[in-house]
Chain A
Amino acid sequence: MNPRIKDVVKAEEGEIYDVELEADILESNRRIAEENRSLLRTYNVTAVDVMGPTGTGKTTLIEGMIRLLKGRFRIAVLKGDLTTTIDAETIIRHGVEAVPINTGKECHLDANLVRKALQKLRLEDLDLIFIENVGNLICPAEFPLGSEKRVVIVSVTEGPYTIVKHPFIFMDADVIVINKIDLAEVMGVDVDKLRADAEKINPRAKVVPTNCRSGEGVEEVVKALGLM
């Protein structure tokens, strides 16, 4: 051994010593997300995250986007839920592939689950993947998955303060969708106020009001994502 390297120092019995770790627990997720990103890039596949609370219209928005884009892209959907494959079954009716990801008890998808889901798809036969996260406006913001673009959707039925109450997830969004605008009046919610909140928190994101059930505004979402 090189004489400049001294003997290894070992702890004696009963001795107290510090170990510098500097290990970021969240870093492992970010690393896998980067791997997912480069894998998708290799196959020239664009992945789009769709995040938002339960019942806000994530699946309905994805269905609307599939309707508009089916002709020009080969599409698949990764569908995160705690349990059930109900939404995945809805999605496949549009003639695209769906991979249900059941998180069990976890409140968000993570990069590792997405990596496993991507292994179930033939990426060479795809152009576009929508990744629908678990219904939640908090946790998904902590776990990047490796996608190219991120959509955060809320709706007027969650009330007038959803955006200011959960600012951080909107900071990561490229497109912010305000859904169910047809119900705004009944709900007594001002869509323009929600839009102003979104623009204030993230001036870079494009804000699009929609009624995903009728299809109103969905084309604008697709355009804002640069897919049309």
Chain B
Amino acid sequence: MHEYSMTTMIVEAVLEEARRHGAEKVLEVELAIGEFTFLNPEQVEFWYKVLSERESLLKGSKLKIEMRKGSVRCLNCGYEGNITLLDDPAYHVIVPTLLCPECGGTVKIVSGRECTIKRIKLLGR
């Protein structure tokens, strides 16, 4: 939904880092997107292509996106792992729930809400 503004922030952060290192060029950016964000990797890629073309430091650089699974923790029994998905035949969709798969208590999302620039590959000047 807000891939444009998010990608703008990614581009700015990468540019800042590249300038700080006095790099000639950015070759590659590695990004990790959490399962529970609302970021569609294809749209992030699209905007990265558009925005990086405008910056000589970034022009032609590659964006690699890794989708990271999120995890939940039960407030009752301490279960840690994947979120429970209910396969609801009434909707033909899979609906996530905060119900704990172990004890029926309520879980809390502990990871999967990140959009992290993991690493950038630079060409030295």
Contacts and interface: CB of A to CB of B under 8 A. Distances in A.
Interface in B108-124: 109, 113-124
Contacts of A201: 95-98
Interface in A159-180: 161, 164-165, 167-168, 171
A161 B113 CA distance: 24
A7 interface: no
A139 interface: yes
B37 interface: yes
B27 interface: yes
A95 interface: no
A34 B99 CA distance: 27
Given A11-B23, A25-B115, A161-B91, A168 B120 contact: no
Contacts of B113: 26, 142
Interface string A1-33: 000000000111111111111111111000000
Contact of A204 (B17, B98, B121): B98
Interface residues of B, number: 40
Contact of B98 (A136, A164, A171, A197): A171
A136 B1 CA distance: 10
A150 interface: no
Contacts of B95: 164, 167, 197, 200-201
A77 to B, nearest CB: 24
A15 B106 contact: no
Contacts of A18: 119-122
Contacts of A15: 123-124
A148 interface: no
B125 interface: yes
Contacts of B119: 18-21
Interface stretch (B2-10, B45-53, B59-67): B2-10
Interface in B55-97: 86, 88, 91, 93, 95-97
Nearest to B99: A203
B43 to A, nearest CB: 13
A204 B106 contact: yes
Contacts of B1: 107, 136, 138-139
A106 B2 contact: yes
Interface of A: 10-27, 106-108, 136, 138-139, 141-142, 161, 164-165, 167-168, 171, 197, 200-204
Interface of B: 1-2, 5-6, 9-10, 13, 17, 21-24, 27, 36-38, 86, 88, 91, 93, 95-99, 106, 109, 113-125
List the 8 closest pairs (A to B, CB-CB), nearest first. Answer: A11-B124, A15-B124, A204-B106, A24-B116, A25-B115, A139-B1, A21-B117, A24-B114
